[in-house]
């Protein structure tokens, strides 16, 4: 028995993000790794990031609908590259508001996808209020989805572990790497997914550098004896809930 | 490949504690689990706890040497019950002082035991200054033991993960459960080891209650779907360094 | 003069909780102690905990109204056992939402009961969002009830001290025991009140163990010279506002 | 029974400070209050503050011995005004070093004075390292003095509550007022004691202003209904250990 | 080039506060300094503080409209004394609610005033929930006003630095002085502006004492060599965002 | 008047580091900037980093003295490239111990160099205990050097601001960027200085990436209106003491 693992079905990962691009930069490696193991990954994008993260398109004079369409297409291409499926909730960004209706929609997605692992934003981000709003609803919905008394369709869920992925300016968001995930085997896939996001080309290198940086730290924390390759790539995560395990390692 | 695991030798766990009894109450489950998997566990007791944790013996008029002998015998019996080996450094307690000599002795033990996992006290304890002193030296020695330039015998070590075990009054020591270890399979062994510590009988039930309490929380965090037994026992740990992993779970 | 004490009337305690059972597990000792001194204790239950804390009843196929009725009856029996009066606001749980209307109802209760002491949940609980919501409104209403300009019936209140009672998983909620209350004299009463909550029998022993645990710590912090009985029971509280006093003790 | 109070002897307060003047500015009110109730107050000054807090005397060309003598005389006059007795350990300041010998001297003072209450500096002060050094030894010695196995003269002590008094720049030292003590009844006494410290006249008004400021906050936290006088004076304290009590108030 | 300074236009400061008096007590020095340099200062008062900060007027039987009028007149006089312009949003206080409509109004003010510096309340205040509500909206609106995709009139803004001014009970609000501003040159102006607030005369001396206190700390942190005058006055601020600079000083 | 600036002499910067290479990676930009303004920069290297940061040389079989000589030569070349002067205290690393003797040597350097600005390591680093040890002594010595009563040669110093430079794994050291320094004008110089450290070639790119990363964040925090160049480089610093200023900016 391994905690959080059901014996027969493929494992399920649920990624809840504020904007269409977030899952690529911040959790693309985890998603690709899970997919590469034959697991199911569902990404719930609460908005397209049409107002807050599409400055270039606005400057080019694109309309709101055009921008949403571009962002949707890019995100779908990236998700497909990573091996995941993306659902758009189109809740409107900048600001993304915390509402009971949207939280309820997430409850339904939790019950539908029965996740073994949940990924979302950390709870603080002084540069973008949509990220904490998404995280707040992701956590609230997870708790509600566990309650048999909560009136929503589908089976209640267990208590899947939650991981916060890394924000753009981690130190300003109270982000501290608690888990360093080795994404070297899927690095090329993550890079390709990033390249699907044509409008944010300046971030390709930024997140490549970050992948290397976390890889260096991963090697430092794993110890030099493991024979990890020179070019190790990593992603950093936080755990808001304790790890449950049968073995200290 | 699993991080921190060397392929051929049995894994090695090093437990560094201030007093002779600490490893039983606080990490007895982890030790017994590791031993039950055929792994090697070494306990480095910096002192016998002869002054600070032997009030009963002092009231009975025992001499310092007698008390040290009693504590040694009890600790050896408990270690043997758990399946571990204990080394006494006899550095003198209450206060246990941080010294370069003692830190150096620990470097030698690190290099000798080549641990894959390290367990020690957390860095704060307003009720007992020996615990942070032991932890401070355990962490310092681990870093020194990694350096090829540090002049001590033996091979340098890697960067084994460190776990802080739970102090007596966790909330007063900044202790937050980051890892909940399921010790149900070895619970009876831990209980027997506790019963080796005859002078502290009042703690047997205290730590049995704690084991149940952490077990309840473990079940709550693992989710109700896993079919964990009603009587689940747990131990809580903190991680001062990030977890390195190939899979989020 | 003792701070917070009005000379002629019996003292008044106001307990504000999210769900019908919370006051029993977490503050039953404080309530029974106050009642045993002839003081008035009012419990404001914002919800019955009908959705989030009644899993057993839901599994038995009970209806929402049946469950609310069961919870109400249990809570009234427990309150009566403790010597307190309970008011239900039936605001709906899971989620309990922070609203201005509900806050305003609490202002009225503050002004009506003129509390000398206020007890409520702490402001964080990653396992149950209703608890922080209740605490948020309890604190906001307390401030509003102090303002002569706030349009509500009744006399304005002073600045009664607030105590946060202990959540189910204290370390995960930032809970640190700042006050240890000796509830030994009313322990049997608290136990009887717990036994009124038939549906949550698994918690009777959990909170008995916790009472013992906090009792052990109370004795540890009070010092061994006081001759406290072996079986001392305690409850832990936090103070979000500074203690005002005429004597350091 | 009141916690911490022995029935027959007068209560004993122990104040441990780094420099000769600290007890006046920071705890003069608490000392005078205790003395006014007929309690015994002992002040242990680890140094005279001869190097770090006597700039004026150095500029006037006084010798080290002269400065120590001046400081001693001033401190004795102030202590006498407050109703306390002062012991000088003359350990040398700037820097005051944490040593086992000095800690041991404090253990003896603990056992000798058998304090019901302990006052000392907080553990952080980026402007003066002597203050944390004194606090560190005050706390360590308190724990050692409780142990029957610690080899020092005198009876072991209980677990007297500890209060950290307010540093000069509280927000820079992590100081948060957890206890506001009403010192109005002894304000004139504290002012007179301050005026004994002739060399630091610029601090008389600074600490008078602080007394008023904490008085305003005390009234704000006590509530407007208590009829506290307009000119209320206060001192602020922190509690590193939980309060033990029989009643929430 | 100096960061945040546009070469030709006068610099613009935007102060966002909950109540009509806040800007005087807490940021009057910064406002007067900026005005004295010929810069433009705009104060956005979300409410008049008519319910929560006008107890005297309510006790005198004034009506809501009368109180608002009094507060408006006082605030305008004070702003004029300081050299600033004040805009009232009349959003209703006690409680001031966080709404999207009000946030949107602030976005418009940001775009209209194009601030180089923003001053507002810190994000925590257990004594007055209106202050954090104002700060929350001030920060959210600043982020929205930067986005070209956010549908509001006017030009988008840059990323002006934000300063939190000092709350009434700083230590209870997590306030730590990160910037000490020398307001000595404009002290008389600040004092005159405070005296415009006739109803809160008890605060004139409180904030004069605070000005002196921060002045003493400013001199302490600036070093004794600078020849600062004896009567130095200061104001303290926090920076939620990093300082951007060309020189460490 | 600008705070911290003496009118006639060139400004003086003092950099205190544990090992010979630290000043290059972490503060090379600040040093080069100061030098480029004609200021004096003195680097006090407490050790050569001969044991803890010279793994490659040890593996090549070099002797202790050879390694120290190599490190000295590299550091001198780098310092010279940056425009600074370096003093070696040769106190022995891994571990660097906090001693009164070494602190006293630093007092002398403070009084000798009369710094206007001080740069050192942050106070926590779980990967290398030498760094906090150096920082501890740097801060202690700065306080002692201010006291006229402290017996050391030279004039007392003022209270120069302190900046903590960025550690290798910032999030694990409690490091949060509080100041972002634009080092673009001297980037090439910093790169050349890094290339003087031949044995640590793997860090050249790591710290180039970090410079870019901090540059991106600098632009993000400065606002898009400033016309900063695409390739902006930055260094991040913390301030343990409040900034003292005449203007908020």
Q: What are the pLDDT digits (tens) for F18-74?
A: 999 999 999 999 999 999 999 999 999 999 999 998 999 999 999 999 999 999 999
Angle at which helices A22-36 and A64-82 cross, to 10° = 30
- Pick the closest to residue C212 from C193, C200, C199, C228 (CA basis): C228
| Cross-chain residue pair B3–A222, CB shorter than 8 Å | yes
Angle at which helices C22-36 and C187-195 cross, to 10° = 140
**What confidence category does residue C104 fall into, taking pLDDT thresholds of 50, 70 and 90?**
very high
d(CA E102, CA E24): 22
Enter the tokens of residue F42: 């003195």
| Cross-chain residue pair C213–B216, CB shorter than 8 Å | no
3-class SS of residue A244: strand
**What confidence category does residue E5 fall into, taking pLDDT thresholds of 50, 70 and 90?**
very low
Task: Locate the chain F residue with the closest alpha carbon to A211.
Answer: F209
Contact D139/B at CB under 8 A: yes
Q: Which of residues 147-166 of A touch C (CB under 8 A)?
A: 147-151
| Cross-chain residue pair A170–F171, CB shorter than 8 Å | yes
d(CA F218, CA F228): 10
**Contact indicator for C217, C234 with CB cutoff of 8 Å:** yes
Q: What are the pLDDT digits (tens) for D147-194?
A: 999 999 999 999 999 999 999 999 999 999 999 999 999 999 999 999
Contact D245/C at CB under 8 A: yes
**What confidence category does residue E225 fall into, taking pLDDT thresholds of 50, 70 and 90?**
low
Q: Output the average pLDDT for chain F.
A: 94
Contact C31/E at CB under 8 A: no
Task: Locate the chain B residue with the closest alpha carbon to F51.
Answer: B149
List chain E residues with CB under 8 Å of A58: 148-149
Contact B203/A at CB under 8 A: no
Q: What are the pLDDT digits (tens) for C195-234?
A: 999 878 889 999 999 999 999 999 999 986 556 777 899 9
Q: Which of A120, A124, A149 to mutate to test the interface with C (most CBs of C within 10 A)?
A: A149
Of D147, D240, D242, the CB nearest to B94: D147
Predicted local distance difference test score (pLDDT) of residue D170: 95
| Cross-chain residue pair D148–B94, CB shorter than 8 Å | no
Predicted local distance difference test score (pLDDT) of residue F227: 66
**Contact indicator for C50, C96 with CB cutoff of 8 Å:** no
Average pLDDT of the residues in C174-186: 97
d(CA A43, CA A239): 19
List chain F residues with CB under 8 Å of D126: 139, 240-241
Place of tokens 């006090």: F44
- Pick the closest to residue D30 from D204, D165, D220 (CA basis): D165
**Contact indicator for F156, F114 with CB cutoff of 8 Å:** no
| Cross-chain residue pair E249–F179, CB shorter than 8 Å | no
**What confidence category does residue E223 fall into, taking pLDDT thresholds of 50, 70 and 90?**
confident
d(CA C180, CA C186): 15
Predicted local distance difference test score (pLDDT) of residue A5: 47
CA distance B58 to chain D (A): 6
pLDDT cut 90: percent of chain E above it? 90
d(CA A181, CA F206): 19
A and D touch with 3+ CB pairs <8 Å, answer: no
Place of tokens 């200290």: A248
Task: Locate the chain E residue with the closest alpha carbon to F158.
Answer: E223
Q: Which of A106, A107, A147 to mutate to test the interface with C (most CBs of C within 10 A)?
A: A147
CA distance E247 to chain F (A): 7
Q: What are the pLDDT digits (tens) for C132-172?
A: 999 999 999 999 999 999 999 999 999 999 999 999 999 99
Contact F170/E at CB under 8 A: no
List chain F residues with CB under 8 Å of B241: 126, 172
Residue C205: in which H helix or E strand, if any? Answer: helix C202-222
Task: Locate the chain E residue with the closest alpha carbon to C104.
Answer: E95
Of E139, E144, E148, the CB nearest to A126: E139
- The whole-model pTM stands at 0.96
Predicted local distance difference test score (pLDDT) of residue C231: 87
d(CA E156, CA A52): 12
CA distance C93 to chain A (A): 9
Predicted local distance difference test score (pLDDT) of residue A136: 98
Predicted local distance difference test score (pLDDT) of residue B6: 52
- Residues linked to residue E120 through DSSP beta bridges, in sequence order: E16, E164
**What confidence category does residue E104 fall into, taking pLDDT thresholds of 50, 70 and 90?**
very high
Contact C10/D at CB under 8 A: no
| Cross-chain residue pair C126–A139, CB shorter than 8 Å | yes
DSSP class per residue in C13-53: EEEEESSTTHHHHHHHHHHHHHHHTT-EEEEEES---TTTS
Predicted local distance difference test score (pLDDT) of residue B202: 85
Q: What are the pLDDT digits (tens) for E9-21?
A: 899 999 999 999 9
**Contact indicator for E134, E127 with CB cutoff of 8 Å:** no
CA distance E209 to chain D (A): 7
Average pLDDT of the residues in D33-48: 98
d(CA F178, CA B244): 29
Of B116, B182, B248, the CB nearest to A163: B248
| Cross-chain residue pair B95–D242, CB shorter than 8 Å | no
List chain A residues with CB under 8 Å of C128: 143
**Contact indicator for B39, B83 with CB cutoff of 8 Å:** no
d(CA D62, CA D57): 6
3-class SS of residue D206: helix
Predicted local distance difference test score (pLDDT) of residue D201: 87
Q: What are the pLDDT digits (tens) for D68-101?
A: 999 999 999 999 999 999 999 999 999 999 999 9
| Cross-chain residue pair C218–D244, CB shorter than 8 Å | yes
Contact F178/A at CB under 8 A: no
- Burial grade of F32 (CB within 10 A; 0-12, 13-18, 19 or more): buried
Beta strand pairing call for A85-88 and A40-45: parallel
Options 3.90.660.10, 2.40.50.140, 3.90.190.20, 3.40.50.10320; CATH for E12-238 is 3.40.50.10320
Q: What are the pLDDT digits (tens) for C37-85?
A: 999 999 999 999 999 989 999 999 999 999 999 999 999 999 999 999 9
Per-block mean pLDDT, blocks of 10 residues, chain B (249 long): 57 97 97 98 98 93 97 97 98 98 98 98 97 98 97 94 97 96 98 94 93 95 73 96 97
List chain A residues with CB under 8 Å of F206: 213, 216
With a cut of 50, list the residues of chain A below it in pLDDT: 1-2, 4-5
| Cross-chain residue pair A181–B246, CB shorter than 8 Å | yes
CB neighbours of residue E63 within 10 Å: 10
- Pick the closest to residue C241 from C148, C179, C187 (CA basis): C179
CA distance A72 to chain E (A): 17
Task: Locate the chain D residue with the closest alpha carbon to C178.
Answer: D242
Q: What are the pLDDT digits (tens) for D184-228?
A: 999 999 999 999 998 788 899 999 999 999 999 999 999 865 567
Of B67, B97, B126, the CB nearest to D139: B126
**Contact indicator for B141, B154 with CB cutoff of 8 Å:** no
Chain A / chain F CB contacts < 8 angstroms: 31
Q: What are the pLDDT digits (tens) for B93-118?
A: 999 999 999 999 999 999 999 999 99
- Burial grade of A59 (CB within 10 A; 0-12, 13-18, 19 or more): exposed
From A62-76, E80-94, E226-240, the region with the lowest mean pLDDT: E226-240
Q: Which of F57, F94, F169 to mutate to test the interface with B (most CBs of B within 10 A)?
A: F94
Q: Which of E58, E62, E67 to mutate to test the interface with C (most CBs of C within 10 A)?
A: E58
Contact A179/B at CB under 8 A: yes
Q: Output the average pLDDT for chain B.
A: 94
- Which backbone phi and psi does D147 adopt, to 5 degrees? -95, 125
- Pick the closest to residue A78 from A45, A105, A107, A110 (CA basis): A45
**Contact indicator for F213, A209 with CB cutoff of 8 Å:** yes
């Amino acid at each position: 028995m391994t905690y959080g693992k059901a014996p027969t079905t493929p494992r399920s990962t649920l990624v809840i993000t504020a904007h269409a691009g977030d899952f690529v930069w911040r959790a693309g490696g985890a998603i690709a790794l899970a997919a590469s193991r034959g697991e199911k990954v569902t990404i719930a994008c609460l908005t397209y990031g049409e107002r807050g993260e599409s400055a270039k398109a606005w400057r080019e004079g694109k309309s709101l609908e055009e921008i949403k369409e571009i962002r949707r297409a890019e995100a779908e291409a990236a998700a497909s590259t990573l091996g995941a499926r993306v659902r758009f909730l189109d809740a409107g960004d900048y600001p993304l508001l915390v509402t009971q209706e949207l939280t309820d929609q997430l409850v339904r997605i939790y019950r539908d996808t029965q996740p073994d692992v949940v990924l979302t934003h950390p709870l603080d981000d002084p540069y973008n209020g949509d990220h904490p709003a998404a995280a707040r609803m992701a956590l609230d919905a997870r708790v509600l989805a566990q309650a048999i008394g909560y009136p929503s369709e589908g089976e209640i869920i267990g208590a899947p572990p939650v991981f916060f992925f890394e924000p753009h300016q981690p130190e300003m968001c109270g982000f501290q790497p608690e888990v360093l995930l080795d994404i070297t085997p899927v690095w090329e896939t993550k890079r390709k997914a990033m390249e699907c996001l044509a409008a944010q080309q300046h971030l390709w290198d930024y997140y490549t550098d970050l992948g290397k940086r976390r890889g260096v730290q991963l090697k430092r924390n794993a110890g030099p004896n493991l024979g990890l390759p020179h070019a190790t790539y990593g992603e950093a995560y936080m755990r808001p809930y304790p790890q449950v395990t049968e073995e200290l390692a």
